[in-house]
Amino acid sequence: MIVVIDYRTGNIRSVMNALRRLGCDAELTSDPVRILSADHVILPGVGDCSEAMRNLRESGLSDVIRKISSPVLGICVGMQLMCRRSEEGGTEGLGIFPTDVVRFVPEPGLKIPHMGWNSISNLKSELFNGVDEGSYVYYVHSYYPVMCDCAIATSIHGTEFCGALKWNNFYGCQFHPEKSSSVGTTIIENFLKL
């Protein structure tokens, strides 16, 4: 069973549509029992990190997520929530990934938010089986996870940052695999094989 966590934020429809295109029967739920018994869990997210974390805490799901033993994939803000903290709203995260989320520093010629296609490199995980170094994925974000030892992909937008993270059974993509064409489809398929 594939579960997409429903916590009133972001890109739920596009994630559900991507899973349907793959022929997957995914369930959108906020039920802790369903989440903890799932074979694969996706934590989507778009928008303000502080509001998303408030929604998780109010629903009691922040504690549930830490207890998941099956593979978990956080997408965009979903991944940022699993970091220690974010500069956006001074948000304390779940502390799963040992890194912080910071805002891109404005500089001449650097567009913020970072929106559009960018390449990923330094691919280090089974999440990227069949994905070539330098492949392009789709980003929409103004904040990013600082480089750390659990980075499994990197990108550059003014500075190098974590494009994807892994810690035990938890994975995260700062980019949107559900919007990243065939490369994103491969990444989602690889996640569902874990």
Amino acid at 13: R
CA atoms within 13 A of residue 193's CA, in its CB half-sphere: 12
20-28 CB contacts, 8 Å cutoff, 24+ apart: 21/185, 22/185, 22/188, 22/189, 22/192, 24/192, 26/2, 27/1, 27/2, 27/3, 28/3, 28/4
146-149 CB contacts, 8 Å cutoff, 24+ apart: 146/99, 146/100, 146/101, 146/102, 147/99, 148/97, 148/98, 148/99, 149/98
Q: Catalytic positions, please? A: 76, 176, 178
Contact 155, 139 (CB under 8 A): yes
Residues 181, 169: Cα–Cα separation, whole Å: 25
